[in-house]
Amino acid sequence: MNGIRIGGEKYMMVAGEPGVVLRGKKGPSGCTLKKTNTAVVVGIYGEGVPHGDCNVVVENLADYLIEQSI
């Protein structure tokens, strides 16, 4: 995989578990993606936002959707 492309922006993949959760970075911004049963939850953060905050929100929402069989 050469990176993550979202809305025309390319993020360098920095961590994750392929098929479950991916994390990308582009300068001071980045993204987190997590797969559910029927969707992919995508979070994009900008400069000044801690990447950990984005990770927690995306993963918690995705986990909730998984528990609801969504």
pLDDT tens digit sequence for 12-62: 999 988 889 999 999 999 999 999 999 999 999 999 999 999 999 999 999
CA–chain centroid gap for 2, Å, is: 16
The model's pTM: 0.89
* Residue 18 confidence (pLDDT): 80
Please state the domain count of the chain.
1
Range of the domain at 34: 4-67
* Residue 1 confidence (pLDDT): 60
* Residue 17 confidence (pLDDT): 87
* Residue 2 confidence (pLDDT): 79
Question: How far are the Cα atoms of 3, 21, 67, 68, 69 from residue 44, in angstroms, in the given order?
Answer: 15, 14, 23, 24, 24
Which CATH number do you get for residue 11?
A: 3.30.450.30
